[in-house]
Amino acid sequence: MRLNSHPSGRHFLQIPGPTNVPDRILRAMDHPTIDHRGPEFNALAKKILRSVRQIFQTKQPVIVFPASGTGAWEAALVNTLSPGDTVLMWETGHFASLWKKMADKIGIKAEFMGGDWRKPADPAAIEARLKEDTGHTIKAVCIVHNETSTGVVSDVNAIRRAIDSARHPALLLVDTISSLGSIDYRHDAWGVDVTVAGSQKGLMLPPGLSFNAVSEKAVAASKTSKMTRSFWSWDEMLASNANGWFPYTPATNMLYGLNEACDMLLEEGLDAVFARHARHAEATRAAVKAWDLEILCSDPKAYSGSLTAIVLPEGHDADALRKVALENFNLSLGQGLSKVAGKVFRIGHLGDFNDLMLMGTLSGVEMALGLAKVPHKSGGAQAALTYLRDTAPGAAH
* Phi, psi for residue 329 in degrees, rounded to 5: -130, 5
Which residues have a Cβ under 8 Å from the Cβ of 348 and sit 6 or more positions away? 13, 14, 15, 16, 17, 19, 306, 307, 334
**Backbone conformation region of residue 288, classed left if phi is above 0, alpha if psi is from -120 to 50, else beta:** alpha
* Phi, psi for residue 94 in degrees, rounded to 5: -60, -40
Amino acid at 362: L
Q: Is 160 annotated as a binding residue?
A: no
* Contact of 156 with 314, CB cutoff 8 Å: no
Measured from the Cβ of residue 36, the count of other Cβ atoms closer than 10 Å reads 18
Check the CA dihedral 137-140-142-143 and report its sign. Answer: positive
The DSSP secondary structure of 101-166, one letter per residue, reads HHHHHTT-EEEEEE--SSS---HHHHHHHHHH-TT--EEEEEEESEETTTTEE--HHHHHHHHHHT
- Among 321, 317, 289, CA closest to 303: 289
Rounded to an integer, what distance in angstroms lies between the CA atom of residue 355 and that of residue 353?
A: 7
In 294-310, which positions are buried (b, 16+ CB within 10 angstroms) versus exposed (e)? ebbbeeeebbbbbbbbb
Rounded to an integer, what distance in angstroms lies between the CA atom of residue 175 and that of residue 188?
A: 15
Rounded to an integer, what distance in angstroms lies between the CA atom of residue 99 and that of residue 88?
A: 11
Residue ranges of the annotated binding site are 346
Residue ranges of the annotated binding site for substrate are 346
